[in-house]
Structure 1
Amino acid sequence: MALTDLKIRNAKPTDKQQKLFDERGLYLLVTPAGGKWWRLKYRFGGKEKSLSMGVYPDIGLKQARERRDAARKLLANGIDPSIDRKVQKAATTERAANSFEAVAREWFAKQSPGWAQSHADKVIGRLENDVFPWLGGRPIADITAPEVLAVLRRVETRGALDTAHRVHQNCGQVFRYAIATGRAERDVSGDLRGALPAARHTHFASVTEPSEVAALLRALDGFQGTFVVQCALRLAPLLFVRPGELRTAEWAQFDLDKAQWRYTVSKTKTEHLVPLAKQAVAILRELHALTGLRKYVFPGRDVKKPMSGAAINAALRRMGYDTRTEITGHGFRAMARTILHEHLRFPGEVIEHQLAHKVPDALGTAYNRTKFIVDRTAMMQAWADYLDALKAGVQVVPIGMSGVA
């Protein structure tokens, strides 16, 4: 007799396994522990076999019969349903291993050790927020150009055109890695060249007029936040290094007696030397009393980690500055570059070396951390004196290497 839902529900476990048969080889195995397992009894190649069809009540009688019928169709076509299930499972596992997300994370793991942490965070953030939710589970070899374009359009429509271009670039890198590792045959993102409007690249917002700089410096001194962030704000214009390099500075890199800071430039992976003006040394000595026993000069809420990358810009916004149009943490570099050259008349190559930019010379573009060190030391002190004079409202005369009058 065929099984019924009532008979299945009422089946009680005994001290031995029970087999409650339905039709055409389907039966329910009731274990002494109370489990109820669907099984299909069949013959293939002259041997009797059993195939699991699921667990009751997750799989009801109707669905179990549907699975039985599908298995029997395979048998009718000369296919062992047990072998077919193993093949399908292997294919599913392979598809999961070759999904866009799996390949992308593998690519990221290979590439990111050579990147600055801030860059790595941005790349994985774009993939996790803008790509994986829609393409992550798809086999990378099956993804089409229109699918990638749909992802890019979602980013573009929220007004983040530059991010859309970067997502496009990252997708292309993942596809090319998939090709190199035998998981895809072509980079479909290449079909989308020109599909997005050109991004307008703008410079970081900065203040470069001396009168505006004076007001900014006075605002920095009046910042009412934590002492750590206040010191970072006061040092940012004095040192004009990249924001990520400032916030991750470590005490072990400083020699305050020699007034020097040595660290590895995040962008070029080259060693850099920053001569410290006496004003910078004074701020650092004051801060050392608070954080000197820590690894980082500017520790965050978790003192084992550096200050947040958003802290400087957040502080500027608290002081009323628009970080899109007026000044950003990165804008202190443009401030120094402009004023040192146009107002204090320092040579461009000296400034560029202090900015840790690669400067072409007879030996190529290799950066020399000690080049112009005497001039750079004089320039950094003159710059600090100039900023003090601006802040105090003193008239500053551009007389070149001697600095302030």
Structure 2
Amino acid sequence: MNTIFTQHLKSKYVDIVYNLTSPKVCDIKVKELSSEHEETFRVTYGSPRTISYETPSVGILKLEIMKPKDAQIEIVSIVNRSQQGDFLNLSESNLVDKNNYDKNKSKVSESMLDAKPHIQWFLTWKCNYKCQYCWQEAANEIYRNTKNNKLTPELWAESFNKLNPKEIYFTGGEPTLYKGLVDVIKMLNPEIELRMTTNFGKTFNLDKWSELPPNRVDVDASLHPTQVNVDDFIRKVADYTEKYGSEKFGIELVRHPDNLKIVNEAGLIDFCKDRGITLNLDEYVSVFEEEDQDGMELDLYKQIVDIKPLSPLDFGPLCEPVEIPLDCSLKLEPCTDKARLPIFCPAGSMRINVDGFGDAYTCMSAVDRSKMFGRHALPHYKPVGNILDDNFSLMSEPVVCWESFRCSACDSCFVSKFWEPMDEQFNMQLPICE
């Protein structure tokens, strides 16, 4: 049985394709014999998936992979990328038409030139409400248990002004929990368009907001009847719109059954119509498959976020090396769903999502699913950098993505019109997290 993989390195970027059949979730350890580097990764069952990591080895990579003895895992391929953005070395594969690849990549790259980015800033993952239909509250173990954003308004404003985006959209969590928000807004370049979604609760201070120029920010106030007195919310909206007008103010309501039991929807519609307020009534979509066929399996999620104090990998008798095939070249199965075929996407340039610590992600899938499955699960799940770093820059080349079927509307509205297929003739299924 072969348990050692050895290869001359072209770069530090390594992709390991695996199949885990049992259990649903476990940890495995990559042990580099060429560098003494060890790294533990959480892996999940399902169709072929990947571990993408950066090796500290130089010249030659030599590794073995340890697993719990009761885990059934198969290593399918191990690929050393030539370039960071060329996942699985697809551009060099005989499965891809290189002319199509280069032509379509160039087309998207050209659209990225001199384009001002649209930034979505998650000021904090914390919230003063606990709405059961919130996608972050449903996964509160990985969202709410984070540190507070304590960085200074000056630092944030300086970093955003360097990027000078077309727009910044403030969101969270609840963005007004960051006490320096108004001060950040005061210091931003005046040509940057600003939008915000807020629950309009106690942390939205009308007196503090009056320090800003009128209508500097488009505000969408989300009504959560299970968390706030509806009459109090309406009175606050009336106060705000009397002072600032309703041109740049809107109300959102998720049509969750619990909300509709409390709020008078017809009355809310009339209130907004009388005051010229834009009203968005959003249908409820569950995070998990029990209520939505496109949602995540709840049991799998619980196992992913479960933190065990002891791991079999820490005890020699409880773990063993994984068999590694002699032929670790790229192997893919035919794709049965066209929505899962790879495209070139300008996310990371035209669009970035920034968290409360400055980490910038290409898209919402990268933000959310990197928390679920780990930053190693797909190459674009790792941040493209941190906007607070002096040397941060937007991506200059498009991302190869095969998750466009789950692209969030808040991302797709900016990037989807620029999508191009990686290769019109390519029809293979790439590893994906489900």
Q: Answer yes or no: same fold by TM over 0.5.
A: no
TM-score bucket of the superposed structures, by smaller chain: under 0.3
* Bigger CA radius of gyration: 1
Normalized against structure 2, the TM-score is what? Answer: 0.19
Please state which structure has a larger fraction of its residues in helix.
1
Normalized against structure 1, the TM-score is what? Answer: 0.20
Please state which structure has a larger fraction of its residues in strand.
2
